[in-house]
A = this chain, B = another copy of it.
């Protein structure tokens, strides 16, 4: 505690008028000799200063005795307050600020003096002499939260949006306008009944716009356009995910089951009303006891020839249908169960079962229970259904892949029960194409909010005289957000590719697309969960307030990793798909094929694993997309080859196939991940190569490099173990990732702006 503390409150208005300049002059904690000279000579001429003022000022112009930390802090507070109050007005200079404070602190009768032009002139002369007029204004000292200040960029944002919009620009623009309509404004409805009604209302609005039926044939009000439908679902991911899921259940799952598993008779009877949301239905596949293992469903669909009817039965409590969306609003359900005809079980089939009449009353033999509150998606009415010997007409069987005729004879265009089962399940692929896109939209919203906030939020600073540091200038903050921003871009290209493959699919591609969809669905939804968590934390306490949207974004998207196929289960399917493909490729040649594969591998080793390459830390090499792709390929191939060898070994040693796969489970999942990462990288590299706008290309290349290198960094342990890289190289990669983060940080605002999420949808106050 200093013995003679400077007295702030006692300052005269004259002293106060000079405070802004004193503050700035001392801001670097150094008062240069010329500054000292200037201050002393100019100040002595100021007529409004008393002798006492002058001697006080002189004491502050002693370069060896800078003002105490506490005094400076106080100056800062006073100046900042005054500055904050002035921000809406046009004044800009330090003189204005000084005059303002002086005016306020002087008595009423003298206030006039500080509006006097001569006073201003005298102060301005001082300001010019100190060279302050160009270097600092009070706005620079205490920068206000300026909107759009962060979206300076080296590329045209709109062009980037166009590029991301791909072939679906028109429907995307339409959705942006539509969802910004006041009718879709968010409203907190904590009670599930209210919230569900609101979502139903919104869903109906979408149907009225013709959006529900988009993927249906034109004769049923649709456009026969699966790509557009998937894009609508993706765009709903920027809005309320309860709406997205309700929409997906009604038009995609339930409607899709009629479209894909039914035939003309079902289309004619149901599709129009389904697309218009006049007939609400649900997709009753999952049971409490069997979710992932659909083949083990226990509900029975037994044919009764005497009445030409099917009897739907839930054999015991845990065979009840579980988590069924639309269960409380719906009137009809596509029920999956074991089809039993004349004592023979033909495996899982689907049948339409009306369960409420037009007044909404439950039909006989039906029990429905509300699933209650969930982590999120509380605007979706999930419920449980049980069927007690419920009879429906024979025609209700969705009979595209299995029919029972008037004589009670079962027939199917697919002879193998196993193939039939997987064909029917293939109808789920549509969901797996849509879900990751909506998940990515949620992740992009989170990134947009966190990055916009990180560009204006300041906390801590180099000294109490300088502005605090912007969050996104912290390397740890960059590490949290920028690689995820790059991955969001990467996934965008990957998912656009998946959508196109799915929309334009031909029979032979189906299995490959199923593998692709399963891999990207899992990879993207895990990314969503992890990214939203990181973004919430990056926004601190503000991220915890519901108004800033992470509450809903996180809670609603959390189930994306589980529904439409649990990610862990899907990743194993992916690995099995890759193994099957490998086997088929070898099929013609038997062991020789494997040997050739091995020879290829050996070649890779020679080419890529030579002592120079594994230690190569040249920037050009590390930023070479061919190096990235080779590294990704190597990882995938190596995992594929090693797991196939392990499986073969186990089976040779007498393990059953099931047990062999069980033992290799984590290995299989790693393989699936490597596959997903490689595909995404390929599509990103393609996009960079195809891009013609040089500015876009430049920033996209950086994002692609960051995606590639940060992914390699994540797996560096694996690469080092495999001797594909040495420590010197992985360390160089780490440094390069840091550099890319720092570099891309400059355009981070523009890059999230390019997602073109309307303010009405983003909505978070911290992001405006």
Partner of A540, one of B11, B566, B722: B566
A558 to chain B: which residues have CB within 8 Å?
Answer: 533, 536, 544, 554
Q: What is the CA–CA distance of A344 and B550 in the complex, to the nearest angstrom? A: 42
Whether the pair B666, A476 counts as a contact (CB closer than 8 A) is yes
Tell me, yes or no, whether A291 is within 8 Å of chain B by CB: yes
Shortest C-beta distance, A341 to chain B (Å), equals 8
Does A71 reach chain B (CB closer than 8 Å)? yes
Q: Is the CB of A290 within 8 A of B459?
A: yes
| A711-733 vs B, Cβ < 8 Å mask (1 yes, 0 no) | 00000110011110001001100
A486 to B458, CA, bound (A): 39
A-B contact pairs, 27 of them (CB 8 A): A1-B417, A9-B342, A73-B345, A77-B300, A81-B316, A85-B316, A190-B190, A190-B373, A286-B541, A291-B540, A292-B540, A296-B459, A296-B460, A372-B546, A373-B551, A374-B545, A375-B543, A375-B555, A461-B658, A462-B658, A474-B665, A475-B665, A537-B561, A540-B566, A551-B555, A716-B721, A721-B727
Judge if A368 is at the interface, Cβ distance under 8 Å: no
Q: Give the residues in chain B near A268, CB-CB below 8 Å.
A: none
Q: Does A652 contact B (CB under 8 A)?
A: no
Chain B proximity of A401: nearest CB distance (Å) = 13
Is there a chain B Cβ closer than 8 Å to A614's Cβ?
no
Tell me whether A64 is interfacial, beta carbon within 8 Å.
no
Across the interface, A315 reaches (CB within 8 A) one of B81, B344, B669, B727, namely B81
A379 to chain B, nearest CB (A): 13
Known interface pairs A190-B190, A190-B191; A346-B559 also in contact (CB < 8 Å)? no
A252 to chain B, nearest CB (A): 18
Q: Which of A524-552 contact B (CB under 8 A)?
A: 529, 533, 536-537, 540-541, 543-547, 550-551
**A70 to chain B: which residues have CB within 8 Å?**
344-347, 417
Q: With the chains together, A347 CA to B6 CA distance in Å? A: 15
Q: Is A596 an interface residue (CB 8 A)?
A: no
Closest CB-CB distance, A596 to chain B, in whole Å?
27
Copies in the complex: 2
A371 on the interface (CB 8 Å rule)?
Answer: yes
In the complex, A182 has a CB within 8 A of chain B: no
**Cβ of A7 under 8 Å from chain B:** yes
Nearest neighbor of A8 in chain B, beta-carbon distance: B343
Which of B296, B346, B474, B730 has a CB less than 8 Å from the CB of A721?
A: B730
Residues on B with beta carbons closer than 8 Å to the beta carbon of A296: 459-460, 464, 468
Select the residue from A558, A659, A663 with max chain B CB neighbours within 10 A.
A558
User: Which residues of chain A in 659-699 are interfacial with respect to chain B, using CB atoms and an 8 Å cutoff?
Assistant: 659, 662-663, 665-666, 669
In the bound assembly, the distance between CA atoms of A731 and B723 in angstroms comes to 12
Please report the C-alpha to C-alpha distance between residue A6 and residue B341 in the assembled complex, in whole angstroms: 11
The answer, yes or no, to whether A74 is at the interface (CB within 8 Å) is: yes
> A545–B371 contact, CB under 8 A?
yes
Known: A345-B74, A727-B723. A562 touches B546 (CB 8 A): no
Residue-wise interface mask of A (65-96) relative to B, using a CB-CB cutoff of 8 A (1 in contact, 0 not): 00001110110010011001100000000000
A591 on the interface (CB 8 Å rule)?
no
Query: A215 near B: Cβ within 8 Å?
Result: no
Could you mark each residue 102-119 of chain A with 1 if its beta carbon is under 8 Å from any beta carbon of chain B, else 0?
000000000000000000
Cβ of A322 within 8 Å of any chain B Cβ, yes or no, is: yes
Say yes or no: is A10 at the interface (Cβ < 8 Å to chain B).
Answer: yes
Assuming the contacts A345-B74, A463-B658, A475-B663, asked whether A544 and B568 have C-beta atoms less than 8 A apart, the reply is no
